[in-house]
């Protein structure tokens, strides 16, 4: 970041992968259809417990070329996995570069203001 922006600025959307349960709520609520989530089921066997099925996130991508910064995905997330980050300046010369995968989204967690995570 090069220029100070207020804490409540809508810079870009960050993802906490550890909190995400692949529940699909954000992808379904998004008016622009810009969130793509792929996941698979995995059976976990813990000592002394019955085996249980968990969802493992394979892909989480936001197409910021479609996103209109409405923040509905952040609002609906029941697990607090999505946040507004202050990072900005993500313009690109190719529409494909506007699609940001989980690695970018995770890295922007560093730009989420203190107190919101």
Q: Which member of 33, 69, 79, 103 binds another protein (CB under 8 A)?
A: 33
Q: How far is CA 80 from CA 26, 44, 51, 94, in A?
A: 11, 23, 26, 31
Q: Which member of 23, 98, 99, 109 binds another protein (CB under 8 A)?
A: 23
Contacts with another protein, 65-84, as mask; x by CB under 8 A = --------------------
CA torsion sign for 12, 22, 104, 30 is negative
Strand order in the sheet with 35-44: 35-44, 52-63, 99-100
**Total residues at the site for another protein (CB under 8 A)?**
22
Residues in the chain: 117
Helix (H, G, I), strand (E, B) or coil at 39: strand
Stretch that binds another protein, among 2-10, 30-38, 84-92, 99-107 (CB under 8 A): 30-38
Does residue number 102 form part of the binding site for another protein (CB under 8 A)? no
CA torsion sign for 97, 99, 102, 104 is positive
Q: Which member of 16, 17, 36, 104 binds another protein (CB under 8 A)?
A: 36
Q: How far is the CB of 101 from another protein (least distance, A)?
A: 14
Binding residues for another protein, rule: CB under 8 A, are 21-24, 27-31, 33-41, 53, 55, 58-59
């Amino acid at each position: 970041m090069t220029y100070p922006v207020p804490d409540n600025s809508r810079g870009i959307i960050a993802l906490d992968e550890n909190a995400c349960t692949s529940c699909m709520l954000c992808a379904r609520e998004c008016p622009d259809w810009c969130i793509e989530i792929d996941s698979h089921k995995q059976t976990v066997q813990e000592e002394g417990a019955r085996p249980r099925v968990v969802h493992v996130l394979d892909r989480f991508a936001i197409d910021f070329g479609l996103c209109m910064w409405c923040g509905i995905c952040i609002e609906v997330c029941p697990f607090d996995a999505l946040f507004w980050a202050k990072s900005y300046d993500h313009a690109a010369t190719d529409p494909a570069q506007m699609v940001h995968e989980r690695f970018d989204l995770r890295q922007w967690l560093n730009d989420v203001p203190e107190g919101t995570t």
